[in-house]
Amino acid sequence: MIGLISATAAGAAARDRLAAAWPDRTRVYEGPVGDAVRAAFAQCEQLVCFLATGAVVRLVAPLLSGKTADPGVVCVDEGGRFAVSLVGGHAGGANELAREVGEVLGAEPVVTTATDSVDLPGLDTLDLPVEGDVAGVSRALLDGEAVALRAEVAWPLPPLPVAAEGSYTIRLTDRLVRAAEREVVLRPSSLVVGVGASKGAPVEEVLGLIEGALREAGLAAASVAELATVDAKAGEPGLVEAARRLGVPLVTYSAGELAAVVVPNPSDAPLAAVGTPSVAEAAALVRGGELLVPKRKSAGHPAMATCAVVRRPGRGRLAVVGLGPGARDLLTPRAKAELRRASVLVGLDQYVDQIRDLLRPGTRILESGLGAEEERARAAVEEARKGRAVALIGSGDAGVYAMASPALAEASDDIDVVGVPGVTAALAAGAILGAPLGHDHVSISLSDLHTPWEVIERRVRAAAEADLVVTFYNPRSRGRHWQLPKALGILAEHRAPTTPVGVVRNASRPDESARLTTLAALDPATVDMMTVVTVGNTATREIAGRMVTPRGYRWQEEPE
C-alpha cells in the first residue's frame, strides 16, 4: 500500500489525482502531517508526501531503521513539477515510484541513486538475494574498475560492465559460501526441494530436514525456488507452513506425473499411500535438473518427512520486441524495459541504430544486414539457451512480417519466450490516413521471396471477393515491380475506380509522407518498400480529406 500525505490545498489536489489513478494501491492519511507520516511509515510499503523535501527529511529521520526495512519515500513539490526519490530508492522501490508518479502527474522524476544516474542496474535490484560488499562493488562498476563475473550457474542477468578478471568480483552461485573481501554474492533461484510428508508431520521436522540437507550439501537456502510435492499433500499444514517460512511457493504435481519420473530410490510406501513410487525425488526432478541430494528421511521416530534437492539449470529468456514504426514516442514502455533488461541484443543493423541509445552499458550487440533473418533468429535462440537475457528486435510488431515467426520456429521449451507487441505499419499508416481500418480488414505482403506468387494472388483475390479493406506490405521494390499492378488489377475487378486508396511512406518518421488517391489514379511507380498501401472496400469513403471505412452502425444510416 502507498500512503499519501499532504498539507495544503494544492498538495491535496495532486494527492487526490494520484489516489483516483491508483484506487487499489493508495491510502490517504488525513490529520496533522507529523501524525500522518508516522502512521503511514509504520503501515505502508511506500509513501508519497506532497511536502517540501526538508520537511519530510525532518519527519522521517527519527523513523529510519535500515535500507532493507524502510519504506520507499517520494516527495512531490507544491507545483507538482518534481517527484523526488528521497528514501529507499532501490530496496523500497522509491526510484520506480518516482517515475510512476511523474507519469501520472506530469512531474519530472528526480533520482539521485548513483547506479540509476548512469543507467547501471543496481546489484540490489536484480530480484536475487545479494550478500557482501554491495556498496564497494557498485562503486567499482561506477568508477570503471575491472569487476569480474564468476557465474557458477547460468542465469539471465541484465547487462553489467564486467571483465574476465578484476580486483572486485560478482559471484553468482547457489553454494553455501561467504562473500570474500571486495565480493558480492548473488543467489540464483536454482534449487528445488522435493518433499514428502506423513499426515500431521510437524513443520519443525520438515524444516529441520530441509535445512540440514541443504547445509550438509553445501547449498544456500536463499537459492531455493520452491518446495514441490504430490497434489494429495497440497494442504498438509507442515508443508504449507515450511514453504511460508522459507518464503517460497509450494508446488504440487499429480501422482501420475510423478510416477512417470525415473528416480534412483523408489519405494512401495508412497505408491500405496498416494499412487506414486516417489514423492520427494520425483517432485524435485519432474521438470528436469541435476539431483544434488538424493532422498533422505527426517530424524523423527518414526520419520514423518522426506526431501530431495535438485538444481535446475537457469532458463534463458528471449524477448521478441516490436519497435513500432520508427517514432520514439510510439515505442512502448514495455519494449523499453525489455531493451534495458537484455544482456544481448540481436537485430537488423538499421533497427539497432534506432534504439542504441536506450541500451544499458555492457549490452552485447549482434547486428546484421538485410536478408539475414534466419541467422538472427538462430543467434537469438542460441544465446538464450546459454542462460542469457536476450532481446530480438523487429520493426512494427515483431509478430507481423517480422522476427517472431522465425525465432519461435527455432525455439523449444527449454527457454522462456516473451512477446512484446509494437505498433504495426498498418496501424501507423491507418492513423495518418484517418480510419481506413474501421471495419474488417486484412494485411497481405506482396513479397514473393518466401511465398509463391500463386499463393499471394489467391489471397488477394479472396480479399477482393470478400470486400475486405486490404493493406499491402512490401508492395514494390527495384526487382519486384509487377506484383502491385497485378494485385490492384484483381481488386479493380470487384471495386469501383473511385475506391479510396491511401499511400503512406515512412509512417511516423521525420520524412513521413502520405496521400489519398483512388484505385484508378494510383501510379505504382510512386511506391517503394518503405510504403504501405491501403485499399478501401466498397463502403470506404473520403470524408473531409480523410479515408474512412464506416462500421455500419444503424444510427449512421441515411434516412429513407
Assign residue 80 a region (left: φ > 0; alpha: ψ between -120 and 50; beta: otherwise). left
What was the pLDDT predicted at 159? 84
* pLDDT single digits (tens) 59-90: 989 988 887 788 999 999 888 889 999 988 87
Residue at 471: amino acid letter: T
Residue 173 CA to residue 128 CA, distance in Å, equals: 11
Q: With a cut of 70, say whether residue 215 has pLDDT above it.
A: yes
Q: With a cut of 70, say whether residue 556 has pLDDT above it.
A: no
Q: Which of 53-67, 199-213, 423-437, 442-456 has the lowest mean pLDDT?
A: 53-67
The alpha carbons of the chain give a radius of gyration, in whole angstroms, of: 30
CB under 8 Å to 523, separation ≥6 — which residues? none
What was the pLDDT predicted at 469? 97
Kindly report the average pLDDT of the chain as a whole number: 91
Beta-bridged to residue 295, according to DSSP, are: none
What was the pLDDT predicted at 552? 74
Residue 282 CA to residue 264 CA, distance in Å, equals: 9
Count other C-beta atoms under 10 Å from residue 302's C-beta. Answer: 7
Cβ-contact 352, 393 below 8 angstroms? yes
- pLDDT above 90 covers a percentage of the chain that reads 66
Mean pLDDT of 225-244: 95
What was the pLDDT predicted at 553? 61
What was the pLDDT predicted at 299? 85
* pLDDT single digits (tens) 290-318: 999 999 999 878 889 999 999 998 889 99
* pLDDT single digits (tens) 511-522: 999 999 999 999
Q: Which residue has the higher pLDDT, 554 or 382?
A: 382
What was the pLDDT predicted at 164? 84
What was the pLDDT predicted at 187? 94
Nearest residue to 160 via CA among 364, 361, 356, 338: 361
What was the pLDDT predicted at 429? 96
CA angle at 344 for the pair 343 and 349, rounded to the nearest 5°: 140
Q: Tell me the pLDDT band of 127, cut-offs 50, 70 and 90.
A: confident
What was the pLDDT predicted at 464? 97
Task: Return the C-alpha torsion angle 472, 477, 480, 483, nearest 10.
Answer: 20
Q: With a cut of 80, say whether residue 286 has pLDDT above it.
A: yes
Q: Tell me the pLDDT band of 528, cut-offs 50, 70 and 90.
A: very high
pTM of the model as a whole: 0.75
Residue 410 CA to residue 374 CA, distance in Å, equals: 9
Q: With a cut of 90, say whether residue 223 has pLDDT above it.
A: yes
- pLDDT above 70 covers a percentage of the chain that reads 98
* pLDDT single digits (tens) 162-178: 888 889 999 999 999 99
What was the pLDDT predicted at 557? 58
